[in-house]
Structure 1
């Protein structure tokens, strides 16, 4: 059966749906719910046993968004709505400090542990509140979504130029730099708010206007045509910072950015965004795919020099999820055979190496050759988000023509 032929599309849609609804989501409902304190555990062993009870505020938002999104787009199952509400309630009780900034980690019962310089907890809270507002029909959660998004804008961006302003890891007077992360996460956040609440004005711009602003910043500052790469960090003028941090590429991050841009192109019929998204995908697939062992490298160097981070050649679950979405969406929009072949390659490698047929869900961390590095199914970084989002998105993308 030819990959992504009409007959294969139907079979693949069924596979994604089954893996989502019969495997991954039940795994998290069985093992990730904290029935005593509320919210979600994410530090889970291979069989789902809880190995640490501290909670990631990121994943209270991400998990609540996922469960609410299933209720909104599949069916309003009570268990999904209840699971979403558990994360929402935990966020409301324990997510923020007195200044309104969201924590990164807290104890099981919500006492603060760590506040990071990033503001991504705010963005994930925003999408959770937006999806739950739609699922519950309670408009008050739309207000919470707007407040969280406004907090994200306040903490993540310079109000004068709307450029990333996270506190720098190094002295910004010595080496000023901008990171792509706030821009691409901003795009995805604004897309979710618009999808669930409409194109409302927040902090002086509509969601669509924010998206356009950030896509333009990515295209003009971070897309490096000389090296044919999407950079993670750049100097304020968009030039290459020729040091370890400035040369380091994150193919998975770039492929995630590519499908955010392609999604916007598809929704609004924007040829310029379509070309941008495909360019990012083409360039970063070539840099990220491991031609010897298969799978997506975690880090690469812009100039092909050694990478400082020791996990640079490992295979993490989330870049593969983003690559599966990006390649499938590119094929949907173009019909070009290379995207079907790339999708086949990353789909087959991922399901062969990450999926656990015995206990369900996916391993998160593999060595370069696909051997398991740790049996953890969850951590502060891995929870009910990247994998179920990929399965949900690809299933729905394939199903209409199935």
Structure 2
């Protein structure tokens, strides 16, 4: 499948990434005066004037440009990633109490000092790839200080055993914030695998294993193949906005992450879980209506009923593509292998274009754009999915 049934070849993706997408977001998407990335662009491709940036956005962009440097897609990526990391280290690291703040003004002034688990997961991912790209020992040491903070301030125990993390740090004696979510745990799992791969240190992999155990116990329903999203303090599922939500994008994201775990560990026992998650997401979460936009819905309920009017963000499309690639690589799954091409074709028809470096971030059920801006945070999903296309599909076409 080196040549798709469309106007470009797989090999063209590398040129588009390295010559159009990454340079644009390194220039228009970066504030050279502050040394930080831009949070979002308006629909005319101008940087938003809103005076804030999220630490998770900076972390995601650091990851993208550090990996792009490592893959030799963007030689200036390491310098850019180091600059944004320096900005965060100066302004977002709590020099008095450890951990990373949630939001800053664009000049770096702390705007929200909340210590958020999701933010810390992406900071760990950013540091994993920054260390892998540049080898700076301070970065790895900061990652160790970060995970120590996560354990001490966000970690929970039940009967003396690990019981996951709370969404953000609270004062001693305060109730943990609800609902509890699987999502930050998923991204911690991603970051811990990346840190293990970057450093070779077993401790990171062992920590990832704890989250995998929690996934099997709390998040994943083996009888249905569904991934539960929201919980009360005792890990009972909670309805949100009157529904028991299922996100196809997260089903697909876990498929790819379990594949990465299997690659690093040699553990094939994750394959049946991958297959069940993919099967449920692919059966219920993909729009196949004649005349519709082929791709992954944003939200369903536990019965598979489509919610939010059938809207589709860009990021679930990228995760569906990654899941297809993961099962293609792991076991040659015919459904997954056949799914890569229409997903990629639909993405480049409805969400992104070879003509420019922008994207439509969300479409309604009729395929009309409804996103009011172009969030820079989607670059993380798009870049990783296309990097996986470049890595997997040429080899699978020859096998």
TM-score by length of 2: 0.86
Task: Find the aligned partners of 2:177 and 2:309 in 1 and give their Cα distance.
Answer: 24
Query: What is aligned with 2:382?
Result: 387
| Contact 1:76/1:135, CA 8 A, preserved across alignment | no
Task: Find the aligned partners of 1:138 and 1:144 in 2 and give their Cα distance.
Answer: 10
Query: What is aligned with 2:337?
Result: 340
Which of 240, 244, 252 in structure 2 is aligned with 1:255? Answer: 252
Superposed displacement of residue 378, structure 1: 2.1
| Contact 1:119/1:152, CA 8 A, preserved across alignment | yes
Structure 2 counterpart SS, 1:125: helix
Query: CA 1:158 to 1:239, structure 2 compared with 1: closer, same or farther past 3 Å?
Result: closer
Query: What is aligned with 2:67?
Result: 69
Superposed displacement of residue 304, structure 1: 5.0
Query: CA 1:191 to 1:369, structure 2 compared with 1: closer, same or farther past 3 Å?
Result: same
| Contact 1:220/1:238, CA 8 A, preserved across alignment | no
Superposed displacement of residue 394, structure 1: 2.1
Query: CA 1:312 to 1:168, structure 2 compared with 1: closer, same or farther past 3 Å?
Result: farther
Query: What is aligned with 1:203?
Result: none
Q: How does 1:3-402 map to 2 (within 5 A)?
A: 4=1, 12-52=9-49, 53-74=51-72, 77=75, 79-97=76-94, 98-116=96-114, 118-159=116-157, 160=160, 161-166=162-167, 178-200=180-202, 206-234=203-231, 240-241=237-238, 244=241, 247-292=244-289, 293=292, 294-304=294-304, 307=307, 311=308, 313-374=310-371, 376-378=373-375, 382-400=377-395
Query: CA 1:288 to 1:155, structure 2 compared with 1: closer, same or farther past 3 Å?
Result: farther
Superposed displacement of residue 176, structure 1: 7.5
Question: How well do the aligned residues superpose, as a CA RMSD in angstroms?
Answer: 2.9
Query: CA 1:181 to 1:245, structure 2 compared with 1: closer, same or farther past 3 Å?
Result: farther
| Contact 1:127/1:192, CA 8 A, preserved across alignment | yes
| Contact 2:93/2:99, CA 8 A, preserved across alignment | yes
Query: CA 1:245 to 1:87, structure 2 compared with 1: closer, same or farther past 3 Å?
Result: farther
| Contact 1:199/1:208, CA 8 A, preserved across alignment | yes
Task: Find the aligned partners of 1:64 and 1:291 in 2 and give their Cα distance.
Answer: 36
Structure 2 counterpart SS, 1:163: strand
Structure 1 counterpart SS, 2:156: coil
Task: Find the aligned partners of 1:207 and 1:392 in 2 and give their Cα distance.
Answer: 24
Q: Which sections of structure 2, spanning at least 5 residues, go unmatched?
A: none
TM-score by length of 1: 0.85
Structure 1 counterpart SS, 2:254: helix
Structure with larger RCO (C-alpha < 8 A, sep 6+): 1
Query: CA 1:242 to 1:305, structure 2 compared with 1: closer, same or farther past 3 Å?
Result: farther
Superposed displacement of residue 375, structure 1: 5.9
Query: CA 1:228 to 1:396, structure 2 compared with 1: closer, same or farther past 3 Å?
Result: closer
Query: CA 1:239 to 1:128, structure 2 compared with 1: closer, same or farther past 3 Å?
Result: closer
Task: Find the aligned partners of 1:358 and 1:7 in 2 and give their Cα distance.
Answer: 19
Per-residue CA deviation, residues 345-391 of structure 1 (Å, 9 max, x unaligned), is: 32222111001454323221211222111363225xx3531111211
| Contact 1:315/1:366, CA 8 A, preserved across alignment | yes
Q: Which sections of structure 1, spanning at least 5 residues, go unmatched?
A: 201-205
